[in-house]
């Protein structure tokens, strides 16, 4: 190779090396400049939470506590239990004796779900098809008669308030509990102008045990066991 070339190469090497930081001071300097562009190194240790955040969390916690305390009735599990909710909401710590008013409310709901499609919401029935419950002697008087009808159903000819019917009522004993039958009959016996005593769930249980599982009654058969009261 030509010496000129050698010289050029040497010169090039020199000029490349020149701007590079070579001393310790230069390196430190450059490191300083670089770290200035970066975030601070994460460090272990205790960094106190700002007081304002602590106060905010305390306020939030006490708000939650008071909110729950005032809206959950002492965290009682029965708050949303339909059977007991009313009693708990009324401020009682233990379930109280259900009032007649509460039973009538449940009875009305059951009537609308279970009976009103046939006997109509006003209890007057449909002429020639569904007999009325309003003023019906089958509803009033001895509760066991109406209980028996709801438990086992009724079919064949029947006369109600001077009108004849010959149709079928399905049994509801397998889908309704004693308490539900007692409530719905209590409602029926005290609505549509009817004025008869409430029906106790125990009475329904008694009749259910007595008649057992059976086919629907005929009116004649039922009246033999539970004749209509005198004057009806």
Question: Residues near 169 by Cβ (< 8 Å), separated by ≥ 6?
Answer: 118, 149, 153, 154, 155, 216
Query: Which residue's CB is nearer to ligand HEC, number 73 or number 124?
Result: 124
User: Measured between alpha carbons, how far is 131 from 164 in angstroms, rounded to an integer?
Assistant: 8
CA distance 210 to 168: 22
Least Å from the CB of residue 180 to ligand HEC: 8
Give the whole-angstrom CA distance, residue 60 versus residue 23. 58
User: Minimum CB separation from ligand HEC for residue 129, in Å?
Assistant: 7
Nearer to ligand HEC, 108 or 115 (CB): 115
Nearer to ligand HEC, 14 or 174 (CB): 174
Q: Which of 178, 172, 171 is nearest to 203 (CA)?
A: 178
Residue 199 Cβ, how far from ligand HEC at the closest point, in Å? 10
Please report how close the Cβ of residue 202 comes to ligand HEC at its closest, in angstroms.
18
**217, 183 Cβ separation under 8 angstroms:** no
Our CB check for ligand HEC shows the closer of 87 and 184 to be: 184
Residues that bind ligand HEC (CB under 6 A): 114-115, 117-119, 130-133, 136, 138-139, 146, 149-150, 154-156, 158, 160, 165-170, 172, 184-185, 188, 219
Tokens of 186: 């209590």
């Amino acid at each position: 190779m030509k010496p000129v070339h050698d010289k050029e190469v040497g010169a090039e090497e020199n000029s490349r090396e020149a701007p590079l930081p070579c001393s310790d001071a230069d390196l430190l300097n450059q490191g300083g400049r670089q770290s200035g562009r970066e975030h601070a190194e994460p460090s272990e240790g205790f960094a106190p939470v700002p007081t304002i955040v602590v106060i905010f969390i305390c306020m939030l916690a006490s708000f939650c506590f008071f909110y729950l305390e005032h809206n959950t009735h002492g965290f009682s599990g029965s708050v949303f239990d339909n059977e007991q909710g009313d009693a708990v909401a009324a401020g009682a710590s233990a379930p109280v004796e259900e009032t007649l008013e509460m039973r009538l409310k449940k009875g009305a709901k059951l009537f609308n779900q279970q009976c009103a499609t046939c006997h109509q919401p006003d209890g007057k029935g449909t002429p020639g098809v569904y007999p009325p419950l309003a003023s019906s002697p089958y509803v009033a008087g001895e509760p066991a008669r109406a209980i028996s009808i709801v438990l086992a159903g009724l079919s064949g000819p029947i006369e109600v308030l001077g009108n004849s019917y010959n149709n079928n009522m399905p049994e509801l004993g397998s889908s309704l509990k004693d308490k539900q039958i007692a409530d719905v009959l209590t409602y029926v016996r005290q609505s549509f102008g009817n004025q008869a005593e409430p029906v106790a769930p125990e009475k329904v249980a008694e009749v259910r045990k007595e008649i057992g599982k059976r086919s629907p009654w005929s009116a004649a058969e039922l009246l033999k066991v539970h004749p209509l009261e005198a004057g009806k």
